[in-house]
Amino acid sequence: PPPPPPAFIGSSALFALYAALLAALYRAFNDEVREPYMDEPFHVRQTQSYCAGNWTEWDEKITTFPGLYAATALLVRGWAPGCELPLLRTVNLIPALATPPLLLAQLRLLYPSLSTTDALANSAVLSLLPTHFFFHFLYYTDSAATASVLLFLLLLSQQVASAGAPPERKRSIGSFGSSGGGGGLLLRLATGPLGVGGAAALALSIRQTNAVWLMHGVISASLTQLADGRSIDPAETRLLPASGALLLALPRKLPHLCARHLPVLSLLSGFA
CA dist 14 and 131 (Å) reads 21
Mapped onto helix, strand or coil, the DSSP state of residue 83 is: coil
SS3 of the chain: the string is CCCCCHHHHHHHHHHHHHHHHHHHHHHHHHHHCCCCCCCHHHHHHHHHHHHCCCCCCCCCCCCCCCHHHHHHHHHHCCCCCCCCHHHHHHHCHHHHHHHHHHHHHHHHHHCCCCCHHHHHHHHHHHHCCHHHHHHHHCCCCHHHHHHHHHHHHHHHHHHHHHHHCCHHHCCCCHHHHCCCHHHHHHHHHHCCHHHHHHHHHHHHHHCCCHHHHHHHHHHHHHHHHHCCCCCCCHHHHHHCCCHHHHHHHHHHHHHHHHHHCHHHHHHHHHHC
pLDDT per residue over 134-160, tens digit each? 889 999 999 999 999 999 999 988 887
Residue pair 147/199 in contact (Cβ under 8 Å)? The answer is no
Percentage of the chain exceeding pLDDT 70:
75
Q: Per residue of the chain (272 residues), what is the pLDDT tens digit?
A: 444 455 556 678 888 899 999 999 999 999 998 888 888 999 999 999 999 888 999 988 888 899 999 999 988 877 776 788 888 999 999 999 999 999 999 998 888 888 888 989 999 999 999 888 988 999 999 999 999 999 999 998 888 777 655 444 444 444 444 444 444 556 666 767 788 889 999 999 999 999 999 999 988 888 777 765 443 444 444 444 455 555 666 666 777 777 777 888 888 888 76
What is the model's pTM?
0.81
